[in-house]
C-alpha cells in the first residue's frame, strides 16, 4: 500500500504538468509569426513557457498554502519547530534545477543551430567568405550589376547600413536606396549589414530575428518572409540619445507587387 504523501505528490505533479502545458498552449503573447525562422523559435519559447508556468503555479500555490496552513494561531507565542535539514531533499532540489537548466541549455543550442545561428555570419577565421555568402555576395560591389543578377542564386541580396539613427537599405540590383525594407514573400533575403558608427541591432519581432550591426565588420543575416504585411524594424541596441526613435518598416509584398516596386524605383529603368 503506497503512502498517502506519495499519491498526493504524484497527483499534484500531474496537475501542475497539465496546467503548465495548458497555459503555454492557451496564453499567446507572441506577435504573428512571419518568417520561416519563426516556428522554430516559437517551439523553444513554448517549452520555456511550459517550464516557467509549472514553476510559477507550483511556487505560488506553495506560498499560499504555507501562508494559510502554517499561520500563527491565537494563543501561539513560542518559537517554530526547529528543523535540522534533510539530505535527500537537498540532493533532490539541487538535481532537478541542474537537469532542467542543462536541458534548456542543450535544447537552446539545437534551436539556435536550426535557425542558422552557428553558420559563420560572413567570414570564417581565415577571412574567407563562407560558401553561401560567396554565392550571394561574391560578385557584388566588385563588378557591373549584370554579373550579380546572372549568378545562379535564389537569395535576394540587400545591403543595410545602420547609423545614428536610421537604417538605410541598398538594393545592388537596380541600385535602389530606400529607408524601408521591401521584400517579396517566400524568397530568401540575404541582408549584408554594416554600421557607420556604433553598434546597432536589426530586430524584426514578427520574424523572430535580432542581429547586431557592427562597425567595420559586416554581418550577413539570411531569412525568408512567409507572410505579406507591414512589420516594424526596431534598433535593439542602445546606440545614443535617439535610439528609441531608430525604427523603420519591412514591407513584405507578394512577388508581383515587389517586382512593380523594384521597377518603379530602379535607377536603371530611367
Ligand atoms: Cu541604433
How confident is the model over 166-218, as pLDDT tens digits? 999 999 888 889 999 999 999 999 999 999 999 999 999 999 999 999 999 88
Q: What angle do CA 193, 198, 201 make, to 5 degrees?
A: 50
Distance 69 CA to ligand 1 centre (A): 53
Distance 88 CA to ligand 1 centre (A): 51
Q: With a cut of 60, say whether residue 151 has pLDDT above it.
A: no
Count other Cβ atoms within 10 Å, centred on residue 224.
18
Distance 209 CA to ligand 1 centre (A): 15
Distance 198 CA to ligand 1 centre (A): 8
Angle, helices 87-114/38-69, rounded to nearest 10 degrees = 160
Distance, CA of 62 to CA of 56 (rounded, Å): 10
Distance 235 CA to ligand 1 centre (A): 5
Distance 253 CA to ligand 1 centre (A): 26
Query: In the beta sheet, which residues pair with residue 168?
Result: 161
| Domains parsed from the chain with CATH numbers | 2-69+92-114 (no CATH), 135-269 (2.60.40.420)
pTM for this model (two decimals): 0.76
How confident is the model over 22-69, as pLDDT tens digits? 988 888 888 999 999 899 999 999 999 999 999 999 999 999 999 999
Residue ranges with CB less than 5 Å from ion ligand 1: 200, 235, 239, 246
> CB of 206 within 8 A of CB of 252?
no
The pLDDT confidence band at residue 145, using thresholds 50, 70 and 90, is very low
Distance 194 CA to ligand 1 centre (A): 12
Amino acid at each position: 500500500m503506497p503512502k498517502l504523501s506519495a499519491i498526493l505528490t504524484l497527483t499534484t505533479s500531474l496537475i501542475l504538468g497539465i496546467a503548465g502545458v495548458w497555459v503555454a498552449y492557451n496564453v499567446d503573447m507572441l506577435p504573428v509569426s512571419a518568417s520561416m525562422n519563426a516556428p522554430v523559435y516559437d517551439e523553444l519559447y513554448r517549452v520555456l513557457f511550459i517550464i516557467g508556468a509549472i514553476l510559477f503555479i507550483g511556487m505560488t500555490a506553495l506560498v499560499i498554502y504555507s501562508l494559510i496552513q502554517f499561520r500563527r494561531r491565537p494563543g501561539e507565542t513560542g518559537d517554530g519547530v526547529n528543523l535540522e535539514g534533510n539530505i535527500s531533499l537537498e540532493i533532490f532540489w539541487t538535481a532537478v534545477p541542474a537537469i532542467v537548466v542543462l536541458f534548456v541549455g542543450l535544447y537552446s543550442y539545437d534551436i539556435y543551430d536550426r535557425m542558422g545561428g552557428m553558420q559563420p555570419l560572413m567570414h570564417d577565421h581565415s577571412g574567407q567568405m563562407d560558401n553561401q555568402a560567396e554565392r550571394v555576395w561574391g560578385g557584388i560591389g566588385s563588378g557591373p550589376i549584370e554579373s550579380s543578377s546572372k549568378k545562379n542564386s535564389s537569395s535576394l541580396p540587400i545591403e543595410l547600413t545602420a547609423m545614428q539613427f536610421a537604417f538605410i537599405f541598398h538594393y545592388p540590383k537596380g541600385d535602389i536606396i530606400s529607408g524601408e525594407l521591401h521584400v517579396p514573400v517566400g524568397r530568401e533575403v540575404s541582408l549584408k549589414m554594416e554600421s557607420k558608427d556604433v553598434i546597432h541591432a536589426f530586430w524584426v519581432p514578427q520574424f523572430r530575428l535580432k542581429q547586431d550591426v557592427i562597425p567595420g565588420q559586416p554581418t550577413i543575416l539570411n531569412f525568408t518572409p512567409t507572410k505579406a504585411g507591414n512589420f516594424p524594424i526596431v534598433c535593439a541596441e542602445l546606440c545614443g540619445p535617439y535610439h528609441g526613435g531608430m525604427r523603420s518598416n519591412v514591407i513584405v509584398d507578394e512577388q508581383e507587387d515587389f517586382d512593380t516596386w523594384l521597377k518603379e524605383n530602379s535607377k536603371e529603368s530611367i
